[in-house]
Amino acid sequence: MTGRRILVIDDDAAMRDSLAFLLDISGFWVATYETATEFLNDFASGPVDCVVSDIRMPGMSGLELVRKLKADRLDCPVVLITGHGDVSLAVEAMKAGAVDFIEKPFEDEVLLRAINGALEARPTKPADDAAKLQAEGRLADLSSRERDVLQGLLAGKINKVIAHDLGISPRTVEVYRANLMAKTNVRSMSELMRIAITAGF
């Protein structure tokens, strides 16, 4: 992965410096930007392998940046990071086209794994059908009630609302959420959302 260009966008100077240092010692070529607008003005200066962007920033947000890159047909994977993570935001980010959604504070390894995953997927993109089949396979063992809960999560609903809709207790929804994570072997809710969206759930 040495020499791959990773661009970091975050309005927090300390966070920018921290990420730049981590990526630099990991062998990446790094440039940092305070705003998405500043990044877009410089985007044409050379190939970009991956973008790491905060989601909440002054001016254009990370989510709006993902949508703009997609609308402009600029093929560049974006990993979004946020200090205010919630399921509905993760779903929105994944549907917009972000390759991953990471909540602060995170371990260095979590970010590096997300970036390396995005880079590995680029040169030899698996056919959409193959990715869909793989995602469907990971959801195959879910019970009908677990699927109901997953549908609620994908709609961005909180546990209490899902519980009300299904006529069960919020505590039971928590149990189903834990089952979903275990059965699909995911480490985060955003990973579960990505699998569900890829499967066309």
What DSSP string runs through 122-151?
Answer: TTTPPPHHHHHHHHHHHHTT--HHHHHHHH
Global pTM reads: 0.69
Question: How do beta strands 50-54 and 29-33 pair?
Answer: unpaired
pLDDT digits (tens, 9 = 90+) for 171-185: 999 999 999 989 998
Strands ordered across the beta sheet of 100-103: 29-33, 5-9, 50-54, 78-82, 100-103
Higher pLDDT, 17 or 44: 17
Give the Cα separation of 158 and 160 in Å (integer). Answer: 6
Domains plus CATH for the chain?
5-121 (3.40.50.2300), 128-198 (1.10.10.10)
Quick one: which H or E segment has residue 6? strand 5-9
Q: What is the pLDDT of residue 121?
A: 65
| Mean pLDDT within 97-103 | 85
Q: What is the pLDDT of residue 163?
A: 93
